[in-house]
Amino acid sequence: MIVLFLTGCVDAVSPPDETLFTMQDTAVTSPATDPALAIDPLVVDFGEVSGTAAAHFTLSNTGGSDLILGDTTQDGSANFTLEVDPSGSVISPGASAVVPVSYTPTGISGDKGMVTFSSNDPIAPTATITLQGNIEEAVSYPETWSYTLDEVQSYVFDPYCTTCHNPDWEPDVADRVKTIPSLEAGDAYDSLVGQETLHGGGALLVEPGEPTQSVLMQKLGPTPPMGSTMPPFGNGLDVLLLDLVEGWIRDGAPP
Ligand code: HEC
């Protein structure tokens, strides 16, 4: 009865909950004759990739009878590709199968995916691994900045901001008093310099000569006074880019 209960428990959880697995490991010992699926590693981290990267993980049968793999399902980012679909494979006791996986990042926001295996392992009939990675930013910056709007446009607004901050984008922002600023070339100056924040209250997005007072600079930091840090994904802008934006505002935010 206990075995049935725990098995049902795991079935209902997707992705599998680590605590449940720990509980089974101590509470229920699989008879040595049952098949048992072990996966190594459970997290495949590709790190920063330019082009395509390859990795693999290993499915092993640590039990005492044939392990039969059922359906394999993939969720999350489509930038991960299982080079071999192990669905339906049979792994004999003590044997293992290597599954190659490749990753081709397409954007700077990072990727996360999951692959769930099912099998005739009676204790843990499904098991999930996590895939993650990000694109390597092959950007090189000038040795020194001139702190011009052109530089801010090319190194900050174009690569990191205009996918959202463009004239056609109408996000749902609670309590906003005006439209989202367009940061496209030709719009950015008029959208920012001397303009009030869309959150109301009158603070200026860019107050020439006053980087710390400027909402633009505050939004690029870890604790903006309103809304989220920009861009709203990843680990924030490189310090060199923060220095560029700050220097442009400090120098009077010229057009
Ligand atoms: C994924 C979409 C997205 C990206 C990319 C993005 N933003 Fe935003 N941005 C928003 C949204 C949504 C808001 C409104 C909510 C808020 O303030 O957090 C906003 C608000 C802002 C504001 C405040 C506007 C105001 O009137 O108060 C600034 C300044 C800003 N973003 C600058 C940037 C900069 C600079 C970048 C690039 C480094 C950037 N954003 C990238 C979605 C984005």
Residue ranges per domain, the chain?
2-135, 149-250
Q: What is the pLDDT of residue 22?
A: 33
Q: Are 32 and 9 in contact (CB under 8 A)?
A: no
Between the CA of 50 and the centroid of ligand 1 the distance, in Å, is 27
Q: What fold, for 2-135?
A: Immunoglobulin-like (2.60.40)
53-65 pLDDT, tens per residue?
Answer: 999 999 999 999 9
Low-confidence stretches of the chain (pLDDT < 50) are 1-27
Q: What is the pLDDT of residue 17?
A: 38
Q: Given the DSSP bridges, would you call strands 111-119 and 126-135 parallel, antiparallel or unpaired? A: antiparallel
Q: What is the pLDDT of residue 177?
A: 80
Q: What is the 3-state secondary structure (H, E, C) of 24-43?
A: HHHHCCCCCCCCCEEEECCE
Q: What is the pLDDT of residue 6?
A: 30
Between the CA of 177 and the centroid of ligand 1 the distance, in Å, is 15
Pocket residues for ligand 1 (CB within 6 Å)? 156, 160-161, 163-165, 171, 173, 180-181, 197-199, 205, 215-216, 219, 226-228, 230-232, 237
Between the CA of 234 and the centroid of ligand 1 the distance, in Å, is 14
Which run of H or E residues covers position 20?
Answer: helix 18-27
Q: What is the pLDDT of residue 11?
A: 33
Q: What is the pLDDT of residue 31?
A: 65
29-75 pLDDT, tens per residue?
Answer: 556 789 999 999 999 999 888 888 999 999 999 999 999 999 999 99
Q: What is the pLDDT of residue 26?
A: 39
Q: What is the pLDDT of residue 50?
A: 83
